[in-house]
Chains A and B, each alone.
Chain A
Amino acid sequence: MATWKRTRGFWVSVILAFAFFAVVEWLIASGTLNVFYVNTLFFMAINVMLAASLHLIIGITGQFSIGHAGFFAVGAYASAVMTMKLQLPFAVGVLTAGVAAALAGLIIGVPSLRLKGDYLAIATLGFGEIVRIALLNIDYVGGASGMTVTHMTTWPWVFACLFATILVIANFTNSTHGRACISIREDEIAADAMGINTTYYKVAAFVIGSFFAGIAGALYAHHFYIIQPSNFGFLKSFDILIFVVLGGLGSLSGAVVAAVLLTIVSTFLQNYPETRMIIYSIVLILVMLYRPTGLMGTKELSSLFKWRKAAQGGMNHGGKNTVA
């Protein structure tokens, strides 16, 4: 009974998620959603995965990494090599993408996570650029002209990957391991003094984040027919960073909401190519002016539903305190 109460919110979200999946699947099958909308939807899901994975690194663990597009690229190319060059099934490509990106995260994370703040940002920015330049110069993957990739990304794949990303990151965050990561963000010296192996958790968050960025890369590569190193420049890293900051550092639902909204905004603005970047920038400036902590602050969507309960609990406590 207690378990049911504790996990009720979880099962409700799972059921809602699958209902959403079924509705979209039906809309696609019946042809109500045209290619344009499906494209936007897939792009949205990929952005949400990227935002959620970077949220774990920046928002939860507080490690300012701005080379996320590098892991995205590693995933995209690793999966494309698997399916296009080695003719392996898509599933192998997706898994390889995650593992390759996670490995890259481990290799980059172990030395660079000793650095703090600005220095870490520069190191990860450097990593992102190294990946891009390396891909540019490897003829096996097509160099500057990129690789052509068969379209294999379907809605069930997108949904499954998105669902797994959110579930893993949310479950990780809401456990003692997530709290360990947050304690590092809040005060690394105190976390260390409380017995938290800070290096281990920084690297763990980095590796998990990279893994899902890699998976997103695989979906991206097999959706847009062609991948080129220029798709993975540092501007892409900044796009992802913007989702996380705009959503509210430390809020998973914030990152998700921001990724969805900004994908819609930028898709809509494609009709106005001349003014697109100007309007996009103005939107960002306005949000930051009026909501400097991001759309959600550090709150989660689920806390909105719990709000009434919490308010009652708070009043009870308040009453008790006054009496005492």
Chain B
Amino acid sequence: MAAKTPLLKAENVGIQFGGLKALSGVTMELYQGELVGLIGPNGAGKTTLFNLLTGVYVPTDGRIMLDSETLNGLPPYKITRKGISRTFQNIRLFGELSVLDNVKVAYHAHARHSIASSILRLPSHFRGEKEMEEKAIEFLNIFQLDGVMHEKAKNLPYGQQRRLEIARALAAQPKVLLLDEPAAGMNPQETKELMKLIAFIRQRFALTILLIEHDMSLVMGICERIYVLDHGQLIAEGTPEQVRSNPKVIEAYLGEEVS
């Protein structure tokens, strides 16, 4: 790694809701190909940071940059098209759409056929739709969801819904993938498989991944670097070992030592 320009950078980012400072002074750098964890107690501002990075909220302070291009104020769909894609803590699939169509929707931004060509059923429509379908099936194969591709998304079991959400986020062809508690509600076996899958897609798609997780042991296991948030501020950063032994982190998670 000779070039040291970060792929995604948050510079002194903060957001205020009325009088409440949800996040302040968060600086974070993600380099190409990294798998970085973001941990912190409930209400620390992890998901808020995700919402800032993906444009759901506009930061009141600081800058967010992707490939040294400022993202502040862009609507979420434009940020996704620039290369940041995400999953949600509480699954947000398109329930009435089939599994296949869920993935196709994410591929929409890369479709080139216009509304007019679809209405008139021009050859470009058929070409475009066929390409989309092939791409979508390819993703479903990777996630072993091809067997259920015609099911409605809402009818899938929980674990498959989680996987489908990741497949959908990947179909948007991101450079950076943000995963918001992907293992929430999974049993240890499922979690283990999920972690293998994350490691695999990271290799296969040359992704940079930022992962929110509650389960400390899990994050420690696969992340190269970890950021720790508490009360809207970064309190620690470093390798799993450094973070684990950091007194501030221990305090945030276990409470202050009584002396």
The dominant DSSP class at the A interface is helix
Task: List the B residue with the shortest CB-CB distance to A3.
Answer: B126
Among the listed B121, B132, B172, which residue makes an inter-chain contact with A195, where contact means beta carbons less than 8 Å apart? B172
CA distance A209 to B151 in the complex (A): 29
Residues in B neighbouring A204, C-beta threshold 8 A: 115
Interface membership of chain B positions 204-216, coded 1 if the CB is closer than 8 angstroms to chain A and 0 otherwise: 0000000000000
Inter-chain CA distance A137–B114, complex, in Å, is: 41
Would you call B92 and A179 a contact (CB within 8 A)?
no
Q: Contacting chain B: which of A42-50, A63-71, A214-222, A313-321?
A: A313-321
Q: Are B172 and A194 in contact (CB under 8 A)?
A: yes
Task: Pick from A106-114, A123-131, A181-189, A276-284 the stretch touching chain B.
Answer: A181-189
A32 lies within 8 A of chain B by Cβ:
no
Residues of B within 8 A of A23 (CB): none
Q: Evaluate contact between B121 and A191: CB separation under 8 angstroms.
A: no
Q: Quick check: is A250 within 8 A (CB to CB) of the other chain?
A: yes
Q: Is the CB of A182 within 8 A of B132?
A: no
B93 touches A196 (CB 8 A): no
A313 to B100, CA, bound (A): 15
- A189-B56, A313-B150, A317-B148 known; A182 and B94 CB under 8 Å? yes
Judge whether B108 is part of the interface by a CB distance below 8 angstroms: yes
Nearest B residue to A178 via CB reads: B118
Interface of chain B, main secondary structure: helix
Contact status of A183 and B94, CB under 8 A, knowing A194-B80, A194-B168: yes
Chain A-chain B contacts (Cβ-Cβ < 8 Å), number: 112
Q: List B contacts of A321 (CB < 8 A).
A: 147
Considering only residues 157-207 of chain A, those with a C-beta below 8 Å from chain B are 168, 171-172, 175-180, 182-183, 185-187, 189-198, 204
Complex contacts, A230 vs chain B, CB 8 Å = none
Q: Tell me which residues from 101 to 143 in chain B have a Cβ below 8 Å from any Cβ of chain A.
A: 101, 104-109, 111, 113, 115, 118-121, 125-126, 128-129, 132
Q: Can you name 29 A-B residue pairings with CB atoms under 8 Å? A: A3-B126, A171-B119, A172-B118, A175-B113, A176-B105, A176-B107, A176-B113, A176-B132, A182-B94, A182-B96, A182-B101, A183-B94, A183-B105, A186-B93, A187-B95, A190-B93, A190-B94, A191-B105, A193-B77, A193-B86, A193-B88, A194-B80, A194-B85, A194-B108, A194-B172, A313-B150, A317-B147, A317-B150, A324-B147
Binding site for B on A (CB under 8 A): 3, 6, 168, 171-172, 175-180, 182-183, 185-187, 189-198, 204, 250, 298, 310, 313-314, 317, 320-321, 324
